[in-house]
Amino acid sequence: MHTDTHLFTPDYDVADLDYAAALRADSQPLDQSVRDQAAHWVQRVRDNASDEGPVASLLQEYNLSSEEGVALLCIAECILRIPDSATVDSLLQSKLSGLDWRAHSGRAESWFVNASTAALLVTGKIVTPNPKGAWNSLVQRVGEPVVRVMVRKAVAVLGGQFVYGRDIKAALKSAKKEICSFDMLGEAAMTDADAQRYLRSYHDALDALCTQPDQPLHQKQGLSIKLSALHPRFNPHQKDRLDVELYPRVQGLVIKAAQHNVPLCIDAEETERLLLQLDVLAKLAHDPAITPSWEGLGLAIQAYHKGAQQTVDFVADLARDSGRRLLPRLVKGAYWDAEVKRAQTLGLDSYPVFTRKADTDLNYLICARKMMEARAVMHPCFATHNALTVAAIAALGSDGYEFQRLHGMGESLYAIAKPKVGVRVYAPVGPHRDLLAYLVRRLLENGANSSFVHQIADDDIPVGAICQDPLNDTSRAMHAPHDLFGARTNSLGFDLDRAPHLARVQAAKVPAVTTVDTSASEARAALERAHGAFGSWNGAGFETRSQILLAAADLLESHTAEAMQLLADEGGRVLADGLSEVREAVDFLRYYAMQAATMGAVKVLPGPTGEDNHYWVEGKGVFLAIAPWNFPLAIFLGQVSAALVAGNTVLAKPAEATPRTGLWAVGLLHQAGVPRDVLQCLPGEGPVIGDALLGDSRIAGVAFTGSTATAKRINIQLAQRDGPIATLIAETGGINAMVVDSSALPEQVTRDVIAGAFQSAGQRCSALRVLCLQEDIADAQIEMLTGAMQELRIGQASDPSTDVGPMIDAKAAAGIRRYLSAIDANGAQLLAETPLGVFGDDPRYVAPQMWRLADNAMPDREVFGPVLHIVTYQSDQLQATIERINDLGFALTAGIHTRSDLRQAQFARSIHAGNVYVNRNQIGAVVGSQPFGGHGLSGTGPKAGGPLYLTRFIQERTQSTDTTAAGGNAALMAGG
């Protein structure tokens, strides 16, 4: 059977260029008559510009390349959810001041845009500080409350334009003349409570829609549902749960829709969810409980996706196999930015979506043709605001399909084009507070400027250019994801959400490595050899060593899957953590290799006549690299490769818990060409090896990453020895905080807090330990976090469905449990806990937990496990909260979630942290993008993966030669 999703593998691993060539081969040039028709419509739309819907007019005036446009939408995104005045004021001041609202005044044809502009002009003036830094005198006169009220009003008007109705009843009322597909909500569900709420709102909507008079299906109001709203874990690794928990929810809705002959469409989602969606669709199509004669089951297919044509084929086959006529909707695609970013972040071979708009347009037309040809088994819906697309489809047939447009857009185009088939409106319904945030964010994310809606209204773009056949487009595709860093190749990743990629990882075996602890005398012998090997290695030159590192990077990259297995087996790293760790190690090797490649050149320095000045750098001698167990590959190889490439010989000590990973990595470097005496691995007890080597003056430097206590001890041992003062690079712990104010989006905060606090079972130095919530939103945020924590899956590290694996060992877990008992005894309150299930009996597991200490206190130490502390603060206490965090003495990572640029700047300026993150999580620093490391109690720097790291491993040398003593300055004499 074709409709088995196991057999469906969209080929989106194809590179953009190959795919574009295939698209062109499959495309036919558009007829002149189609282009003429489209051009005629565009001209008429322009001639009737004042008829264009308010949303389109607004986007036209405040397009996303203008600062004012972005500011306006940013305010609209969040203002309605902010309960307190202080945060609103900070937001308005940061978004409105200093912008040129006057330039937009009275320009638009729409009264609505002009009215909004007038409001913003006044407000913008009010909140712009005068040269003395005080707020404009108008504020003093009218007072801030008036400003707030005005902007809220303006945004509420805006909300009324974007949102079709606040609830289904209101929506149905305003939909008298239009046929709609109602979209009921905004965000994806983060908790089961969210999912249940969304399910109820879908049922309520359906109940209302079921009361429609009996009419043919295509004249009835319908509903769009989003599967990710119906389950908080709608992702491929939770498929077993989804079969049991999600399917019955969807089935209940669909049975109801079918009984009352109401169209129901499954909305578009991100690529990694496509197969899950198709799986649900296939089950529904075959489900005997759903009225067999109902033809209203739909799915949105996104033409920007490289698998779109196969999805169309899949849907057609499904309709044939199941005997059920289907109602697919073809759209351009909703998550372009997110898809591109994800592919780049994962370092994939290629993008799952087209990066040229023209390719999407071509694919849309090919898909449309396929759907029109399959009209015997489906009733296609074409969602588009593009005149050329409308004309091209209209030329393919005059019945058996429909058009769709978004509420507020494409109104005049369809009014002018008057297609022979129906035009359905995709209409967002819900409270403005939630929905506006969602809609505006999607607009901001997707950048509306290249869209047809924007172009059609822009008189500066000639009609001919807008109606150009996409076949003739000559724009270039985006660079592949691995070309992100220019000359340095990005490390290659897997997409663990995709079965073929995951299968490759799962097929890999844990490399066999045997390890024996190094004794003190063996460590001293190793030092002897390393010392002896220094001269030739240092003399080999930067260029040679850099080439060896590049070879090692390629070698490691080709063993990514094995390394992930080893990291899971020995270090308890879940697969996603293992993957990002291997990639980080590859990035370190390439980054330091690139930097070192040019370091070796001798530089000629200026000086007086008769003197030659030269400057060069070289290695220092023997480095001891001491790594922690929590990044046993990336940190280990980062230290080792930096020391090596600078010309040092290295004794590399992996942590006690992860010796096999260290030995394996050193084996790879040997294979890549590092001589055995130049790099030696010394697995074993830290104090044994430390005591054997740290007193020896032949150790030129130590690169250490681990706890602050161990770093202090090493520092003392080095200081006490005779001989030269050694270099010490120490990267240590942190008590990392995140501050969240009332303008933050709770769903984003939840996502980032869960990742920051509980990924890797909290065993990251960068992990979030203290979440500081503004009091106004604390309860709601804690509730959402609590719900999300119930959804986390505890499991074995090598199981791809695991979110939180074991701690490194039972001893570490026992230490965390002791800490928890102690705070419990001191009056702390346990706010939430993830159930451990069957892993409750395994002493290596600690449940992710959220606590509030007595008296709203901050923790006094680094708790290296899945424990999150909650602290609350009042809106006007942001600075005081920052100072409380600073008083802890650490300075590693810190985060803030706020929509106010002023608060972002205030936080970044005054928080003590090496790495500050805004509106994202605070883990997973990327080499070269976020050089990593702290100060204060958190380390010495320089930052790993940053521009200055190598400088700590080198010795600078200069030579000045008095050339007058040996015959004078030849150049001067020749010239003179």
Binding stretches for ligand NAD (CB under 6 A): 626-631, 635, 653, 655-656, 686-687, 689-690, 705-707, 710, 713-714, 731-733, 765, 862, 864, 892, 933-934, 938-939
Catalytic one of 74, 467, 765, 772:
765
Nearer to ligand NAD, 655 or 847 (CB): 655
Amino acid present at 493: G
| Strand intervals (E) in 842-910 | 849-852, 867-873, 890-891, 893-897
Does residue 765 carry a catalytic annotation?
yes
Catalytic one of 731, 747, 791, 862:
731
From the list 548, 551, 549, 578, the residue with the least C-alpha distance to 566 is: 578
Contacts of 883 by beta carbon, 8 Å cutoff, 6+ apart: 910
| Strand intervals (E) in 706-828 | 727-731, 736-740, 768-774
| Angular region, 311: left φ>0, alpha ψ -120 to 50, beta rest | alpha
DSSP 628-655: -SSSTTHHHHHHHHHHHHTT-EEEEE--
Nearer to ligand NAD, 121 or 735 (CB): 735
- Alpha helix segments (H runs only) across 487-519: 499-507
Nearer to ligand NAD, 469 or 731 (CB): 731
Does residue 367 carry a catalytic annotation?
no
Amino acid present at 803: D
| Separation CA 354–CA 358 (nearest Å) | 9
Nearer to ligand NAD, 517 or 962 (CB): 517
From the list 596, 895, 577, the residue with the least C-alpha distance to 764 is: 577
Q: Name the token pair of 595.
A: 């930097």
Q: Are strands 954-962 and 935-936 parallel, antiparallel or unpaired?
A: unpaired
Q: How far is the CB of 167 from ligand NAD (least distance, A)?
A: 49
Q: How far is the CB of 898 from ligand NAD (least distance, A)?
A: 26
Nearer to ligand NAD, 305 or 653 (CB): 653
Q: How far is the CB of 654 from ligand NAD (least distance, A)?
A: 6
Q: How far is the CB of 732 from ligand NAD (least distance, A)?
A: 5
| Separation CA 441–CA 162 (nearest Å) | 12
Q: How far is the CB of 709 from ligand NAD (least distance, A)?
A: 7
**What would you measure as the largest C-alpha separation in the chain, in angstroms?**
108
CB 641 within 8 A of CB 670: no
Q: How far is the CB of 943 from ligand NAD (least distance, A)?
A: 9
Q: How far is the CB of 710 from ligand NAD (least distance, A)?
A: 3
Q: How far is the CB of 347 from ligand NAD (least distance, A)?
A: 22
Per the omega criterion (within 30 degrees of 0), is the bond before 843 cis?
no
Cα–Cα distances (Å) from 933 to 697, 862, 894, 916, in that order, read: 27, 16, 12, 11
Nearer to ligand NAD, 380 or 706 (CB): 706
Strand order in the sheet with 622-626: 679-681, 649-653, 622-626, 699-705, 727-731
HEC string of 919-969 equals CCCCCCCCCCCCCECCEECCECCCCECCCCHHHHHEEEEEEEEEHHHHCCC
Nearer to ligand NAD, 153 or 811 (CB): 811
Q: How far is the CB of 653 from ligand NAD (least distance, A)?
A: 6
Query: Measured on CA atoms in the order 879, 884, 890, 896, is the torsion positive or negative?
Result: negative
Cα angle, residue 484 at apex, residues 481 and 490 outer, rounded to 5°? 80
Catalytic machinery residues: 731, 765
